Amino acid sequence: TRRPPRADQALRERRATALPGWIALLAVLIGVAGVLFVLLRTGVLPHWDVLPDLRGSAARESGRVEVDAQSIAAAAAAGLLVVFTLAGLLANAGGETRVLTRWGRYRGTVRRTGLVWVNPLLRRRRVDVRLRHWRSESVRVVDRTGTPIVVRLLIVWRVKDTARALLAIEDHESYLREQVQAVLTRTASTLPCDSNAAPGPALRDGQWFADELTRALAAEVAPAGLEVYSVQPLALDYAPEVAESMRRRRLADLDAGLRTVLVDDAVEAAALAVRRLERATAHELDLAARSALMEQLLVAFVAPAGVAASVPSPASRAGRKEGRPA
């Protein structure tokens, strides 16, 4: 029995380190305030009379810009803090995640929604984890008898493990489409499309086809971090080149089955009528009379309306058996 590919047990989704956005905004405000304070203290920004005088003693006495190494270092540190904080801000919408990597190594997944802050040195890639549905195109496969059929499917799925979906394979959507083709081909070849007159299950019978497709596809895409909820056939029909011949065959099988049922019912009705006649007359018919009466009743039950059917009498039947002319 073929087994699905094994998943990398070391590659699993885990939570990444992420801070709420308000902490990052507070750090930005502090950094901006620090830069402004240094610029006001050194006299780079002009003093407003409505504000407290924050200039240093040297700048206040000379009235000129007094810049030293400490002021430059403080302004640079505050500016770097602002830039570093703004670079790590991201808005994570609902139904989306961010997969963080550094030099190709997985560092975690951010599922927190809203404004968050992450390490700006990490690469961030968006992954949609919402419930999604995909309506496939008409897929051409063959059933167990080798007859070509055309199937269209509706697949409901979502990304369950973002690390595997992004890093274990190149493109998880293309992987899903290819697995749908393979699973449908393998499953459709196990049963005929229609059972017709032959006993046994078929692809059109019940919910088996959808359940088997769902089970097989879920097992195939699980190593890629995908979760399949349902696979439902939207259309199941024969290929155009054999559709007309299969339709005629199905109608012939149905007509033959109907004729068999009608004949069986007519035989039972005729036998019941003969038994009732014998009980009503209290006289048991011999074999020849019973056969003749049964034949006449069968002709009356089965013959089409408006068609007169002639049934030979018992005497002529007996003469024909003995070789005498009727």
- The 10s digit of each residue's pLDDT in 3-20 is 777 777 788 899 998 889
State percent of the chain over pLDDT 90. 31
Q: Is 18 helix (H, G, I), strand (E, B) or coil?
A: coil
Higher pLDDT, residue 300 or 225: 225
Helix 172-188 crosses helix 208-221 at what angle (to 10 degrees)?
140
- Every domain of the chain with CATH number 3.30.479.30 lies at 132-238
**Would you say domain 132-238 falls under CATH 3.30.479.30?**
yes
Is the pLDDT reported for residue 269 higher than 90? no
Asked whether the beta carbons of 197 and 251 are under 8 A apart, the reply is no
| Mean residue pLDDT across the chain | 79
Q: CB–CB of 220/265 below 8 Å?
A: no
Dump the DSSP string for 213-248.
HHHHHHHHHGGGTEEEEEEEEEEEEE-HHHHHHHHH
Question: Per DSSP, which regions of 93-181 are E strands?
Answer: 96-102, 105-110, 114-117, 123-128, 132-135, 139-142, 148-159
| Residue 50 binned pLDDT confidence (cut-offs 50, 70, 90) | low
Task: Please write the tens of the pLDDT for every residue from 66-86.
Answer: 566 777 787 888 888 889 999
The residue ranking higher by pLDDT, 8 or 320, is 8
- What's the confidence (pLDDT) of residue 314? 44
What is the reported pTM?
0.67
